[in-house]
Amino acid sequence: MNNKTLAIIKPDAVRDNYIGEIITLITKAGFKVKAMKMMQLTTDVAKAFYAVHKERPFYNDLVEYMTSGPCVPIALEKENAVEDYRKLIGATDPAEAAEGTVRKLYAKSKAFNAVHGSDSDANAEIEISFFFSKEELINNYPA
Ligand code: GDP
Ligand code: MG
């Protein structure tokens, strides 16, 4: 399985009204939206989602950021999804992100960086299941 990834349009980008522009970049890059929702993360949900970072000094700030307003998790499908999507969004720090990438265009800083992307196929699977039920992921492109 290397055709799925989880994107999140983070609260700063939602607040700045970039949902449409970011989804346009994603779909123009060839990704299909498999499932999508807008939601307010609770502290417990944000902590659980970012549990891998719990020992990092920025963990509490990250949880506070991700609960600061609604976000938009999106399950995406494309061949080579994880790698291609991370290329599309650019480096974690927008100062280091390539021209034309989502983070170069819409992120404010390394902390407030507009979007999330899964970092491996295994994590993509875990992260997609974190936000979407089987029913929500049912084939939505019937022939
Ligand atoms: P990503 O995979 O490119 O999103 O980056 P990481 O997995 O390393 O970090 C997860 C998220 O934590 C990033 O997207 C940022 O929102 C946040 N983050 C990363 N580094 C820092 C930092 O030094 N300070 C703060 N406040 N947040 C950070
Ligand atoms: Mg990461």
| Ligand 1 center to 69 CA (angstroms) | 17
Q: List residues, by chain if needed, whose CB lies under 5 Å from ion ligand 2.
A: 119
78, 85 Cβ separation under 8 angstroms: yes
Q: Give per-residue pLDDT as tens, 30-55.
A: 999 999 999 999 999 999 999 999 99
Q: Is 62 in the pocket of ligand 1 (CB under 6 A)?
A: yes
Tell me the CATH class for 3-136. Answer: alpha beta
31, 81 Cβ separation under 8 angstroms: yes
Residue whose C-alpha is closest to residue 88's, from 115, 110, 108, 111: 115
The ligand 1 atom nearest the CA atom of 65: 16
Kindly identify the ligand whose nearest atom is closest to the C-alpha of 123.
2
The one catalytic residue in 34, 116, 127, 131 is 116
Residue whose C-alpha is closest to residue 23's, from 115, 91, 87, 93: 115
> Active site includes 116?
yes
Average of pLDDT values for 123-143? 89
Sequence-distant (6+) residues with CB within 8 A of 76 are 4, 5, 6, 7, 26, 31, 32, 33, 34, 85
118, 82 Cβ separation under 8 angstroms: yes
Domain borders along the chain are 3-136
| Ligand 2 center to 142 CA (angstroms) | 32
Note the pTM of the prediction, 2 decimals.
Answer: 0.97
User: Which residue's CA is the closest to the ligand 1 atom numbered 1?
Assistant: 92
Q: Give per-residue pLDDT as tens, 54-89.
A: 999 999 999 999 999 999 999 999 999 999 999 999
* Mean pLDDT over each residue of the chain, to the nearest integer: 96
Q: Is 61 in the pocket of ligand 1 (CB under 6 A)?
A: yes
